[in-house]
Structure 1
Amino acid sequence: MRSKLRKFPFRALQRKLFNNLARWLCYFFLFLCGITLFFRFVPLPFSAYMVQQKTVHLLQGEPYAINYQWTSLDNIAWQMQLAVIAAEDQRFPEHSGFDWNAIESALKHNQRSAKIRGGSTISQQTAKNLYLWHGQSWLRKGLEVPTTTLLEILWSKKRILEVYLNIAEFGNGIFGVEAASRHYFKKSAKDLTQQEAALLAAVLPNPIIFKANKPSYYVKRKQRWIMRQMNALGKNYLSKI
């Protein structure tokens, strides 16, 4: 009897902690749904990755200016829209946030090669840049699943592409295609040519190492590959979104 009395408070405490955790997780999920629905219609003032970069540089005592200018999808050249799809996620109009074939292919490639290849879709990258942090961890990968699913449920494909093009990093502190276009080409994103769009898309995997203003041989080769993919897909491919 005495041992049962000892266990009861502990079990009650466990149950209380579990109920509190479940309640706060529910509140957090509802908040996330609300903020995601809100940003379906409103331009984003910043992303979690921008905050992460700014915070890291401040802690290191380094100056870090964010060059960011929101623009609507209608003011982004169709060549730029097609370029990122051709480069990053050619099944973007068809999948529901995850390209399982690309993920399987990336896993097989990474098992036999020291050069890591990603299998993330545009939807996953948008969720990561908007809500999460950069880095390799199972926790971040796990959180990427519900946040990506939430975007796919509450946003249209056009909205996902619009946000992706606005918060993707194109250089040190340069976020979004409008800021990148004005920084590198002295023009608006709506006036980008196929060559310029393909060049910007070519640096997206790592815009700190791969530079649009000083493209390496690898970047130029990828730019040409992206242009070939764009020609194969065709402008009408965007009508699927």
Structure 2
Amino acid sequence: MGEQGGQVWKVGDLARLTGLTVRTLHHYEHVGVLRPSGRSPAGHRLYDEGDVRRLYQVVALRDLGLPLEAIGTALAGELDLTALLREHLAHVEQQLTALRSLRTRLTALVASARSRRVGPDDLLGLTEEVIKVEETIRNYYTDEQLAFLERRRGEIGEDAIAAVEAEWPELIAKVQAEMDAGTDPADPRVRALAERWMGLLEAFHGNDPGVRDSLYRMYEENSEQITRQYGGPPAAMRDYIGRAQEAAG
């Protein structure tokens, strides 16, 4: 096990060191893009240095917009790690350029708004910057997936969508209350909340595997920003729900 007796990591340690959740690592194993190289005598998953290298490749390819179902195929051949690092760096630099530009414009407008009226030219320019940043969504959803989501929105209807959106804050508050009380995720109350949680998510992704994976990846990689701006569930809460799901079998 391991690369010539090198270092190994348990799944919890790997999750803590990378910022991924245990549930995500289990999912990667389930779909076959990252299987642990061995098991401890107690049956715990053990990842070696080769697995860590492959994990980075999976994460980088996801960040570059490749769906999980295509990553396994890409990794089946010899992937040039140096070339991937360069491509990943270029991709991140593009994202940073868009965000820096938006930040600069917003900072200037906030400062000037104290002494003058913010005019239409200002807002048009700001809108352009926001659109550039929003285009990063395409790093998570393919054109086909975005078209699927648009069709699904039409099928569900605006009233049903509004009802689902209105239910999220209440559900998040109930889960937070159970977390604050120290309730075991295996408790029937928490498992019922987890079932409803997954039902609300399914209303969005329609049980489409690609859309579901893209949604989870977007939350994994932007958890703090989503929580701060939109009140979305923090990573600890999503992990709590994941453990409730696992307990439910």
- Which TM bucket (shorter chain)? under 0.3
TM-score, normalised via structure 2 length: 0.24
Task: Kindly indicate which of the two structures has a greater share of residues assigned to helix.
Answer: 2
